[in-house]
A and B are shown apart, each in its own frame.
Chain A
């Protein structure tokens, strides 16, 4: 039931790009993306509600392929501040009126100077 994120960890140099994938075995109504820095609470990045929708937040964008039950997070020209653990939270079909999310295991991103 838990969505699968890949890769588990990635190390980048400043300015490089990265893609984090989130795949579910269930039909999805929504995908939420969060970033958590060490010792802090998860912070909301974006929500995708429609299949094929792409959204952006600064130089971070995401897509949602409803048919494939997958979402991808794109980090462009990474900055040191992007370091942290990224979680996808999936809302299965049927959860549209509950808000219930199931979170992936997380992808740890480290950006080096």
Chain B
């Protein structure tokens, strides 16, 4: 049963610290999405990749967030420095081609104190 995996599942850190979240997309999927979910804003698209190339990162605060895909099996989302307002659940999703189903990972619950 192929699934998207994310690590860590939970992260508590202090303001100013660097946070790195990792995602392993389903093998063979060529599109990877990063979302942030909060009660106030709902599910927001931060960035996404097609065949490891970034297509759109307009939803991401550029000064502190960065997203990369070092290889086809790993996507990373970094926050440096982290702030309390970054507290949220971060989801990674992968898909195969455009307009196809997006399969969500279990999410990383981030709390910045």
On A, residues with C-beta under 8 Å from B are: 2, 29-30, 32, 34, 40-44, 47, 49, 87, 89, 91, 95-106
Contact = CB atoms under 8 A, between A and B. Distances in A.
Nearest to B56: A100
Contacts of B105: 41
Majority secondary structure, A binding face: loop
Interface residues of B, number: 23
Interface stretch (B11-19, B63-71, B73-81, B92-100): B92-100
Contacts, number: 61
B91 interface: yes
B27 interface: no
A100 B44 CA distance: 11
Given A32-B102, A47-B101, A99-B48, 19 more contacts: A40-B106, A41-B91, A41-B105, A42-B43, A43-B104, A44-B102, A44-B103, A91-B99, A96-B98, A98-B48, A98-B50, A98-B56, A99-B50, A99-B98, A100-B56, A103-B43, A103-B45, A105-B42, A106-B42
